[in-house]
Amino acid sequence: MKNTGIFENTIIYQPELTAFVREVVLPGSSNVQPKIDSRFCRFNLKYAHSPIHRWGIFAAEKIPARRRVIEYTGQKIDASEVRRRRFRHHLYIFQLTQNRAVDGAIGGSGAEFINHSCQPNLMTRIVGGRIFFVSNRQIESGEELTLDYNIVMNGTNLPCSCGTEKCRGIINQNKQR
């Protein structure tokens, strides 16, 4: 998988959508071990090796539906800074709007290690410019936390290994401009 191109013409950020671009994307070469900052968590979470991809974040207690689980934190950057950083080896960019993004590589809460799934148990809620990952159903203790990265990208397909019934086979989605 090439590490280039994701922020070039092939990727489309729709203003009403958010997207999480991680390690452009999941090349499997990262030795970074997750750290979870409990100040940004509402529930007990832990990291462990993931059947989806390397490290993942797991619930360490039962989490009811529709609760804020963890805040996605990091350095706030604009589109030109995203372009400057796009070739970095470890990239944890959460795109909020066309010109606003948060880089979890700097000051990340640990939410940047949450893996993609096509049938996730978390959803994104933006409140006052802050990014919260919210449970979309009850999550049992020991379950891996997952999120649909919501990357709209035509041209290159990123294979998905989430293993869910609804897996579309690729992490990104192809849509018409």
In the complex, minimum distance from the CB of residue 169 to Zn ion, in angstroms, rounded to a whole number: 7
| Contact between 74 and 106 (Cβ < 8 Å) | yes
Name which of residues 86 to 115 contact Zn ion (CB under 5 A): none
Contact 20, 85 (CB under 8 A): no
Query: Smallest distance from the beta carbon of 51 to Zn ion, in angstroms?
Result: 12
Q: Measured from the CB atom, is 45 or 162 closer to Zn ion?
A: 162
Residues 112-171 that bind Zn ion (CB under 5 A): 118, 160, 162, 167
Residue closer to Zn ion by CB (options 151, 162) is 162
Residues 62-81 contacting Zn ion, CB under 5 A:
none
Q: How far is the CB of 165 from Zn ion (least distance, A)?
A: 10
Q: Does 45 bind Zn ion (CB under 5 A)?
A: no
Q: What number of chain residues touch Zn ion (CB under 5 A)?
A: 4
Contact 48, 68 (CB under 8 A): no
Q: Give least dist CB 168 to Zn ion, A.
A: 6
Nearer to Zn ion, 96 or 162 (CB): 162
Q: Which is nearer to Zn ion, 56 or 74 (CB)?
A: 56
Give the nearer residue to Zn ion in terms of CB position, either 19 or 160.
Answer: 160
β-strand pairing of 146-147 with 115-116: parallel
How far apart are the C-alpha atoms of 13 and 129, rounded to whole Å? 17
Q: Give one word for 128, left, alpha or beta, with left for phi > 0 and alpha for psi -120 to 50.
A: left
74, 41, 69, 51: which is closest to 139 by C-alpha? Answer: 69
Measured from the CB of residue 163, what is the shortest distance to Zn ion in angstroms?
7
Q: Which residues bind Zn ion (CB under 5 A)?
A: 118, 160, 162, 167
